[in-house]
């Protein structure tokens, strides 16, 4: 049997990290086809899980205590390899586990502290993944934490598929504020604060696509850190060496928790399919709500196909993923 199988899934949000998804799929494949060459390369789309994907690809995790979104210290980490650091907003300034939500007071300061730490260890290229933020402070907290640091010679890449501007009906406050607990009145307050911040910094970048990412962290990164924006999944695939792992592959397996209408808008499975150069790409997911072909996929396999009880899918995802992998082996890997 020639050719390897490349297992490159994103996380199953709320259930499994991407490395654990990949490990479960790989285990099922090897059980079904002993001796199969399976290579795991977990991916992410630039949001939470991006540091995990970088670490799985050989980056070193660096832990720090930083200011969390409500001002309390939180344990966070970034990833380093050579002069490159991977920092994700969700690690320091994220929504995950934040209760109660704090739409008017949540700060991005911890993200700035992680960036500062990356500079302190000598990094000159920083990938900033901006998904999952709890704040709508326009990146002011991040910038305040970076006072005294010069970004003139630092290459900052804003890994984001969000193309919203900073202000207005499609801006950071109006679109994403409610997801962070903001009432209609809160949205008005946040909009005025963002407008005042843009007045202070300058409006040149306020309408730039991506300025509204992560509650306006995108704006601060573009305007004050000299960042350039790239699609998150493309950045991650470059970081982890996806193109180098592809030659010789007979099959690529990707996936995420839910394959749905959002998947085609910069999510990992669609990005993996687009980058696979004609190699068949199948996906594993908790559920599949769209035609796989619409995402560039050859086909998709869902946990709900083997276990109709959603509760059990969340409780036993690794067992079910291994079972799905056995089905994939039977469909695609038999000589």
pTM of the model: 0.93
Q: What's the start-to-end Cα distance of the chain, in Å?
A: 7
Write the DSSP assignment of 158-176 as a string of letters. EE------SSSTTSIIIII
Q: Is the peptide bond before 247 cis (omega within 30 degrees of 0)?
A: no
User: Encoding tokens for residue 319?
Assistant: 């067992």
Q: Are 16 and 256 in contact (CB under 8 A)?
A: no
Query: Would you state the pLDDT for residue 241?
Result: 96
Q: What is the average per-residue pLDDT within 42-67?
A: 95
C-alpha dist (Å) from residue 331 to 46, 171, 216, 299, 307: 32, 46, 46, 11, 19
Query: Would you state the pLDDT for residue 281?
Result: 98
Confidence label for 335 from pLDDT (cuts 50, 70 and 90): low
Query: Would you state the pLDDT for residue 245?
Result: 97
C-alpha dist (Å) from residue 88 to 3, 112, 157, 233, 329: 34, 11, 12, 13, 35
Q: Which of 235, 233, 203, 232 is nearest to 219 (CA)?
A: 203
Query: Would you state the pLDDT for residue 60?
Result: 98
Query: Would you state the pLDDT for residue 14?
Result: 85
Query: Would you state the pLDDT for residue 99?
Result: 87
Query: Would you state the pLDDT for residue 64?
Result: 98
Residue 334 has pLDDT above 80, yes or no: no
Summary mean pLDDT of the chain: 95
How deeply is 50 buried, as exposed, middle or buried, from its count of CB atoms within 10 A (0-12, 13-18, 19+)?
buried
pLDDT digits (tens, 9 = 90+) for 123-134: 999 999 998 999
Confidence label for 1 from pLDDT (cuts 50, 70 and 90): low
Domain 4-41+245-332 sits in CATH at 3.40.50.10350
Pick the CATH number of 50-233 from 3.90.1510.10, 2.40.110.10, 3.30.70.141, 2.160.20.80: 3.90.1510.10
User: Encoding tokens for residue 304?
Assistant: 């709900």
Domain residue ranges in the chain: 4-41+245-332, 50-233
How deeply is 324 buried, as exposed, middle or buried, from its count of CB atoms within 10 A (0-12, 13-18, 19+)?
buried
User: Encoding tokens for residue 10?
Assistant: 């994103």
Residue 145 has pLDDT above 90, yes or no: yes
Beta strand extents in 24-118 (DSSP E only): 38-40, 60-67, 73-81, 84-88
Residue 62 has pLDDT above 60, yes or no: yes
The phi, psi pair for 70, rounded to 5°, reads: -110, 20
Q: What is the average per-residue pLDDT within 6-17?
A: 94
């Amino acid at each position: 049997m020639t050719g390897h199988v490349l297992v490159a899934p994103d996380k199953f949000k709320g259930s499994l990290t991407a490395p654990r998804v990949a490990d479960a799929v790989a285990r099922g494949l090897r059980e079904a086809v002993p001796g199969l060459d399976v290579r795991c390369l977990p991916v992410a789309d630039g949001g939470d899980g991006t540091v995990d994907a970088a670490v799985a690809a050989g980056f070193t995790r660096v832990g720090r205590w930083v200011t969390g979104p409500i001002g309390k210290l939180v344990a966070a980490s970034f990833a380093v390899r050579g002069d490159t650091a991977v920092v994700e907003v969700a690690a320091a300034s994220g929504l995950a586990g934040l209760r109660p939500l704090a739409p008017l007071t949540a700060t991005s300061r911890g993200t700035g502290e992680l960036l500062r730490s990356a500079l302190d260890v000598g990094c000159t290229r920083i990938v900033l993944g901006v998904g999952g933020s709890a704040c709508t402070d326009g990146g002011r907290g991040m910038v305040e934490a970076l006072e005294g640091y010069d970004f003139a010679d630092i290459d900052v890449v804003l890994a984001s598929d969000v193309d919203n501007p900073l202000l207005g009906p499609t801006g950071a406050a109006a679109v994403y504020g409610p997801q962070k607990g903001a009432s209609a009145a809160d949205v008005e307050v946040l909009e005025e604060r963002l407008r005042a911040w843009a007045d202070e910094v300058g409006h040149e970048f306020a309408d730039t696509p991506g300025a509204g990412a992560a509650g306006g962290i995108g704006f601060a990164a573009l305007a004050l850190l000299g960042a350039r924006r790239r699609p998150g999944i493309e950045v991650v695939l470059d970081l982890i060496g996806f193109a180098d792992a592809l030659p010789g592959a007979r099959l690529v397996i990707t996936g995420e928790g839910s394959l749905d209408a959002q998947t085609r808008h910069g999510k990992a499975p669609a990005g993996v399919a687009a980058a696979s150069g004609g190699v068949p790409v199948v996906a594993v997911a908790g559920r599949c709500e769209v035609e796989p072909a619409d995402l560039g996929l050859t086909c998709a396999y869902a946990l709900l196909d083997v276990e109709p009880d959603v509760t059990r899918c969340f409780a036993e995802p690794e067992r079910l993923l291994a079972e799905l992998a056995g089905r994939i082996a039977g469909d695609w890997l038999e000589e």
